[in-house]
Amino acid sequence: MKFYLRLIVVGVVISSNAAFAQTSNSTNSPNIVFIASDDLNDWIGVLKGHPQVKTPNIDRLANRGTLFTNAHAQAPLCNPSRVSILTGLRPTTTGIYGLAPRHREVDRTTDVVTLPQYFAQNGYRTLSTGKIFHGGITPEERATEFQKWGPDGGHNPRPATKLMTAPLDMVNNPLIDWGVYPVEHDSVMDDYKVASWAVEQLNEIGKEESANPFFLAVGFNKPHVPLYATQKWFDLYPTDEVILPMAPYGDRADVPDFAWNLHWYLPEPRLSWVIENKEWENKVRAYLATISFMDAQVGRVLDALDANNLTENTIIVFWSDHGYHLGEKGITGKNSLWERSTHVPLIFAGPGVTVGAKSSQPAELLDIYPTLLDLAGLTENVEVEGISLMPQLEVAEAPRARPAITTHNPGNNAVRTERWRYIKYADGSEELYDHYRDAAEWSNLAQLAEYSDVKAELAKWLPTESAPHAVGSKHRILYQKDGVWYWEDEPIVLDKLVK
């Protein structure tokens, strides 16, 4: 019965969207181009996260609009972060903390109106290509979330055997690989194909004399692993010149042991492994190369907007779903509540956005949904939990009403203000960092009595309730049962910790 009811809902959504498109012709409404990157931390030129990174296209977009220098993901993991962005709801509301389930499989979000659906209901035609939702789009999602779909994108092509052959220290996942992909032209890469489809759509739209506004979502996979790019992108970063991140030995000496539980047993190797196997420079170089390759694809989309005279009436937002460690705090990958894993690029450009501005106010990816509605002049969706960033898009340093909150499994939360990062774990242990004095988060102040008032003030922003794991949750899931903590259904035994 539930299956048939869902089919009915699908039909209603399609019919209502089609009817709206036929009766609405809001040619003065701004278009929306919604560009996503995967696993991109603050290593872009304008954020100065790495001194060597070359991202001229993302940088030019930032210079055309407003850059949020203190933006953070709701979750340091792809699926819960993307669900939050697209539904406007926190993981603590949906119960989606892991790589599964999908949002339409959860009672709380079965019937939620996602961001593209909201625009479709308001007369926009919606198009998507690449990774916007978390991969593997279901037939139901394909029928309801967007009206037109391009290539799914992904991790392809891949060589017959991995380029990096050393056995990993935990999970030997085939995606954990990096190196030069042995072809001459980028056109074989999935992200290139995603950009090509987006360019084709913009070229077609540019030929139309009159049309409804569009919402075009373009999701790039890089710099997600495997870190493959063609030789020319690696040539930007010669091996013997690569600058490694600062990762001082013993940095975790003042960090609670419970922090290991959030990234207990993963495909991503530890810093100790990349050092021992002489792969640290190689991985950092490959990460930089794939960022520059992805940046070039962003540039192709921006150029197509310009070539078709669409830029002037188009809102562009660029974001990444979460950050990524390259050795900091002894790990590579995401799955932490530290700055390296939560801090992301967030850029808005277009009509209504101040040009060449930077805001250091704490922002959340959750805020994208209500902000785009404001920029498009659409009625507020009262169901979403984010706060519009319009005040900061008008005056960059206009104060924001609350800090940014990141969650990784129930009970583990980080609060980020302009100055402070406060982390409280599910076992009650804490971390506190003063970003005015310690941007790298090397000195945990949580145990010092003189900071008790600061902690108390920040703790007021912690979620008072956290939805339990949604039915069907799996992959990167942490929970407690009968006093024992479990990682992906295996009991955590500290003596087995891989450091």
Active site residues per annotation: 78, 134
Smallest CA-to-CA distance from 66 within 358, 311, 397 is with: 358
Please spell the DSSP secondary structure of 15-84, one letter per residue. Answer: HHHHHHHHH---TTSPEEEEEEESS--S-SGGGTSSTT---HHHHHHHHTEEEETTEE-SSSSHHHHHHH
Cβ-proximal residues to 287 (8 Å cutoff; 6+ apart), any chain: 43, 178, 223, 227, 324, 326
Please spell the DSSP secondary structure of 134-185, one letter per residue. Answer: SSS--HHHHHHT-SEE-----S----SS-S--SPPSS---TT--EEE-S-S-
Smallest CA-to-CA distance from 268 within 217, 225, 303 is with: 225
Smallest CA-to-CA distance from 284 within 325, 229, 335 is with: 325
Neighbour-count burial of 493, counting CB atoms closer than 10 A to its CB (0-12 exposed, 13-18 middle, 19+ buried): exposed
Rg for the chain, CA atoms, rounded: 22
What tokens appear for 488 in the block? Answer: 């992906």
Name the packing angle between helices 56-63 and 280-307 (round to 10°): 50
Alpha-helix residue ranges (DSSP H) falling in 336-488: 339-342, 368-376, 390-394, 452-459
Local structure of 131: helix, strand or coil: coil
